[in-house]
Structure 1
């Protein structure tokens, strides 16, 4: 039975999509069967794997609105051991379209149930907002992984996100847990990055991953080539960091 992890933070630009792409790819590289579901209307995870956001194939939009079977939306072996369900701008209208659907908070969960047995991990890349799409992802997930950028406002919004996770747990998904917090865009040259890490550790009584993702130029370049970092530059510090994070995630199972 696949473990479903939602990668969420309502703050944009924190490395959420970068983490979704590269954690998934490193889990797949380690021999795990992985399904990535892009639930962000911007479709950056889709293009980050070299896939078109304008393709006419079935996307997560059709899956959530129950217009197609989830199996018909899966693109297989985008990289070895890794399948994906893509997203595009149509998904931005899903909030309104879902109004007419019964049990709309469970739409994604019921679709995923059909294929869970085929995967070790199902990774959900959420939009940078606490929307109905994010609620759908959290209702479908076992755990939520939260990337936090090493910057001054890192803790801002985190309290709200944890409150949302607890609310979903109470009302919709009693099994939901916080997978943990992972620090991204760490710059060892600045005292600020170190202070942010220490501040969050002091204020957050949650699981914090030992792996810290560095600010890395190769990591920033990889999406424009449509490749995860472990394929784009296998020996870069970004690739090594995401391999370490994947090992930690597998250790939590």
Structure 2
């Protein structure tokens, strides 16, 4: 059964998609090789376009659908299994043959409004709890259909904690927060931690309302990884080191930070432009080495059951 991990942050531009892509590629490429499903839950579709060209994506989505199709099915439109939507081997390089993709589309942008508009009025606390769980379990139910076909399922979430991200968290066995070592990210990760804890408490409460015998407090293991660390000598580099030390020293995150990190070298930008992992575009480069380390640590932090 697959280990399902969400990659989250409340803000964009923090290396979330790049990290999802590279860890997925590393799991699939390096021994012991794993079968990986990438799910793009972000309407910006950046993970999707790291895996394929626009014309192929456009044709594929018209024929087979996208992640948005899963939510449309819940809303009463055309029923389609996630199995039918999965894009097998979207990348042509043989080294990446173990990776499949659930592509995204911009139509996911208004999924919260569409789900809320279809919500029936609840008259009892049990109905409220059931609606709460139903709206946030759409992706989880879809993933269960295919989970046995994969070793890892990695979900690239949008930079918020709205329903698409909540669906990803409800479907997950754990989550990874990517953050840059700057002041705003340091402040934000504390807020993010509190909000996710609140979401999980709400899930537990809803489950207990529906089933009074359910007294288990479900939690999700999570970790933090620093990415795009500034390597320019001088003040900025010192700030990065100080912020990493600050987060690692916080009581809430004791033992939660990856030892590995990635750095802001051009190799990663060049690889992204070529729609390739740095392992293939710039073998032996700084981030080739760093992402290999991060992927190795990822396996240890999120082992298969």
Shorter-chain TM range is over 0.9
Change (3 A) 1:227 1:176: farther
Where does residue 289 of structure 2 map in the other structure?
Answer: 240
The within-5 A match list for 1:213-228 is 213-228=262-277
Deviations 1:42-96, CA, capped at 9 Å, x for gaps: 0000001124353423101002332421011111123221101000111112112
Where does residue 10 of structure 1 map in the other structure?
Answer: 10
Task: Give 1:206 shift.
Answer: 4.7
Measure, in 1, the Cα distance between the counterparts of 2:6 and 2:13.
17
- When the two chains are superposed, the root-mean-square deviation of aligned CA atoms in Å is 1.6
1:211 paired residue among 240, 252, 260: 260
Where does residue 225 of structure 2 map in the other structure?
Answer: 182
Where does residue 246 of structure 2 map in the other structure?
Answer: 199
SS in 2 for 1:183: strand
TM-score, length of structure 2 as denominator length: 0.79
More helix by share: 2
Measure, in 2, the Cα distance between the counterparts of 1:123 and 1:172.
21
Where does residue 122 of structure 2 map in the other structure?
Answer: none
Where does residue 101 of structure 2 map in the other structure?
Answer: 84
Where does residue 72 of structure 1 map in the other structure?
Answer: 84
SS in 1 for 2:108: helix
The within-5 A match list for 1:1-253 is 1-30=1-30, 31-52=33-54, 54-55=58-59, 56=62, 57-66=64-73, 67-78=79-90, 79-99=96-116, 100=118, 103-172=134-203, 175-188=218-231, 189=233, 190-203=237-250, 204-252=253-301, 253=303
SS in 2 for 1:21: helix
Q: Give the conservation status (yes or no) of the 8 Å contact 1:49–1:228.
A: no
Structure 1 segments unaligned to the other structure (5+ residues): none
Deviations 1:17-37, CA, capped at 9 Å, x for gaps: 110111110111120110000
Change (3 A) 1:29 1:175: farther
Task: Give 1:137 shift.
Answer: 0.7
Provide the aligned length of Structure 1 versus Structure 2: 253
Where does residue 124 of structure 2 map in the other structure?
Answer: none
Measure, in 2, the Cα distance between the counterparts of 1:134 and 1:195.
30
Measure, in 1, the Cα distance between the counterparts of 2:284 and 2:243.
27
TM-score, length of structure 1 as denominator length: 0.94
